[in-house]
A and B are shown apart, each in its own frame.
Chain A
Amino acid sequence: MSEQEVKNLEEIFEQKIARDEKIEPKDWMPEKYRKTHIRQMSQHAHSEIIGMLPEGNWITRAPSLRRKVALLAKVQDEAGHGLYLYSACETLGISREELYEQLHTGKAKYSSIFNYPTVTWADMGAIGWLVDGAAIINQVPLCSTSFGPYARAMVRVCKEESFHQRQGYEIMLTLCRGSEEQKQMAQDALNRWWWPSLMMLGPTDDASTHTEQSMKWKLKRKTNDELRQQFIDQTIPQADILGLTIPDKDLKWNEETGHYDFGEINWDEFWQVVKGHGPCNKERLQTRVDAWENGAWVRDAAMAYSEKKAAKKVQKAS
C-alpha cells in the first residue's frame, strides 16, 4: 500500500470513530490503534487478575459466612473480568499465553494499587469502596469506547462491578457502626488506601502522555484530573456517612468551583510503585508466575487427553 493509500484509509477510519461507529477486529485499523489497544486492554486484564490477590488474601479469614461468600464471589468476578479482557485482546491476534508472558517477565504493567498489602479485614471494605469505586469511574466511559470487543467486555464488567463497591461499603458501614476498635480499623484502612486510590486514576494531565490520541479513539472520555475530581467529589459524602475522616488536611469544599480542593499527591511514591518497588510488587508477580508454572502439567495433561480422544474418534469413524 502506498503512503497516500494508508493516509486515506486512516482518514476514513478516524471519521468512522468520530461518527461513533465501532471498530471490529477484522476491520482495517492503523497499526498504532492495534498496539495501543493491545497494551491498554492487556494492562487492564492484568490488573483484574493481579487484583484478585490482595482480596484473595482474606478469603480464608473472612469473619462470617455471609462475608465469605460475598468476597469469594467478588474475587471470582475479577477473574472473569480478566478473562473477558484477555479475550478482547485475543481478537487482535495476540494469545493469552503471550500476554501472560509479558506480565510474568515484568514487561507489562498493571494497576499499581494492587501492590499494597491487605493487613486488616477493614481493607476488604476499603478496597471495595475506594478501589472498585475508582475503577468504576475509569470503566464506565469505556463502555462506549470505539473498539467493539473492548466496549462489549466493559459493559459486562460494569454490570458485575456494581455489587463490588456496595459490598465494600457495607463492610465499612458495619465497622463504623461497631465497636471503637472496629471504627479505628476502618479509619486506618481509609488512611492507607485513600492516596493510592487517588493515584489509581493516573498521573496528572500535564504528566500524562497519549491523552489526546486516547480521547480521539474514545479510550478516554475525560482526563485523569477530571476523573480524580469526580471520584473525590462523590466519595467525600460517603465518608461523611461513615463518620470517617479523609486523611488530607488540605481537603476543603470550594464554593466557587463547586468541587473539593485537595492536597498534593505523592507522585514519587506512585512512580516508585509503578517501577516495581512497591511493598508487594515482587510477591504479586511471583504468585502469578507460580500459579502459571504449577499449572503447566495440568494444562498439558488436558491437551494430551483431548488429542487422544480426538484420535480415537477418527479411528472409530474410519
Chain B
Amino acid sequence: MQKDILIKYILGIADNSLILGQRLGELTGHGPTLEVDIAMTNISLDLFGQVRSYFQYTAQLSEEDKTEDDFAFLRKEREYINVLLVEQPNRDFGYTIARQFLFDHFHFLFLNELQNSKDKTLVAIAKKSLKEVSYHRRFSSDWIKRLGDGTEESKRKIQIAINDLWRFTEELFHQTNADVEAIKEGIGIDTDKIKAKYLENVSEVLAEAMLEKPDLKFFQEGGKKGIHSEHMGYLLNDMQYMQRTYPGMKW
C-alpha cells in the first residue's frame, strides 16, 4: 500500500485520540470530585499513549525526517482529520460524558476490528488500546446511567448533551478515500460493518439510563475532510502555542 495513503489512514484514527485527549486534559484540576478528576485524567493519558504509538509509526513510515511531535503539533487546521465529535468543548460534565460515551462505543468496536488488520503494527496498537478503551466505555456508560437515572436536573442535562452531540455520530462511520483504500488492502476496517452494532450498544445503555435516543435526520460532518467546527482553531492555538511561538526548538 502506498505509504502516504497508509499515513493518512492512521492519522484518521490517531487524530481522534489526540483531540479528545487534549479536551480531557483541559479538565485536570476541575473535576466534580477528586476521584473523578483522577479517572478522567487517566483516560486522557491512555489516549495520548495511543497517539504516541500511532505517530511514532507514521513518523517511521514517513519519507521525510519527522517525529511524533511533528504530526501532533505542526499541521494546519485543515490537515487534522479527527471527527467533529471529539473536538466539541467541555460545556459541562454532561457534555464531557456524552461526548466520551458516544466516542468510546465507536472506538471500542473500531479497535476490536482493527485487531484483524493486515498491518502488524496497527494490530499491536489495537490490542493494547482495546483494553484501555474497554475501561473507558465502561466508565462513560456507567456515568450515562448515573446521570440519566439520577436527579431530574441530571436527567435534563445529560439528555440535552446527548441530543446536541448526536448530530456528530454519523460522521464516525464516514470513509475518506484513504479509508476506502486501506479497507481494500485489508489494512483498514470497514466502519459500515460496525454501525448497526454501535447503534444497538448505545441504545441499550441509553434505555437503561432512562434516556431517549434522539431521532435525527440531519447530521454534521466535515472533520474527516479537515473542515472543522469553530472550536477547533482555539484548541489548536493552545496545543500548538509553543511550537508556533518558538519554531524548531527541542523541549
Q: Which residues of chain A have a CB within 8 Å of any CB of chain B?
A: 49, 52-53, 56, 59-69, 72-73, 75-76, 79-80, 82-83, 86, 121, 171, 174-175, 178-179, 181-182, 287, 290-292, 294-306, 308
Contacts and interface: CB of A to CB of B under 8 A. Distances in A.
B110 to A, nearest CB: 22
Interface centre among A56, A298, A304 (most CB of B within 10 A): A298
A174 B251 contact: yes
A9 to B, nearest CB: 36
B145 interface: yes
Interface centre among B31, B33, B153 (most CB of A within 10 A): B33
B28 A76 contact: yes
Contacts of B187: none
Contacts of B93: 294-295, 297-298
A59 B49 contact: no
Nearest to B23: A60
Interface of B: 22, 25-26, 28-38, 41-42, 44-45, 48-49, 51-52, 55, 68-69, 72-73, 92-93, 145-147, 149-151, 153-154, 157, 235, 238-239, 241-243, 246, 249-251
Contacts of B153: 297, 300-301
Given A63-B73, A64-B73, A73-B45, 14 more contacts: A63-B251, A64-B72, A68-B48, A69-B52, A72-B45, A75-B28, A76-B41, A83-B35, A86-B34, A174-B251, A291-B29, A298-B32, A301-B153, A301-B154
25 contacts: A56-B30, A59-B26, A61-B238, A63-B69, A64-B72, A69-B48, A72-B28, A72-B44, A76-B37, A76-B38, A76-B45, A79-B37, A174-B250, A175-B251, A179-B246, A287-B29, A290-B30, A291-B32, A296-B32, A297-B154, A300-B150, A302-B150, A304-B151, A305-B147, A306-B146
A121 B73 CA distance: 16
Contacts of A290: 30
A117 B239 CA distance: 19
A299 B251 contact: no
Contacts of A69: 45, 48-49, 52
Contacts of B51: 65
Contact of B238 (A60, A83, A301, A304): A60
Contacts of B31: 291, 295
A62 B26 contact: no
Contacts of B38: 76, 79-80, 83
Nearest to B158: A301
Contact of A298 (B41, B44, B154, B246): B154
A140 B29 CA distance: 25
B29 A300 contact: no
A60 B33 contact: no
Contacts of A179: 246, 249
Contacts, number: 146
Contacts of B251: 63-64, 67, 121, 171, 174-175, 178
A65 B72 contact: yes
Contacts of A52: 28-29
Nearest to A59: B25
A306 B151 CA distance: 11
Contacts of B48: 65, 68-69, 72
Contacts of A294: 30, 32, 92-93
A187 to B, nearest CB: 16
B201 to A, nearest CB: 20
A299 B68 contact: no
Nearest to A302: B146
B250 A76 contact: no
A259 B30 CA distance: 42
A72 B24 CA distance: 10
A103 B73 CA distance: 38
A56 B29 contact: yes
A301 B97 CA distance: 13
Nearest to B24: A72
Contacts of A72: 25, 28, 41, 44-45, 48
Contacts of A306: 146
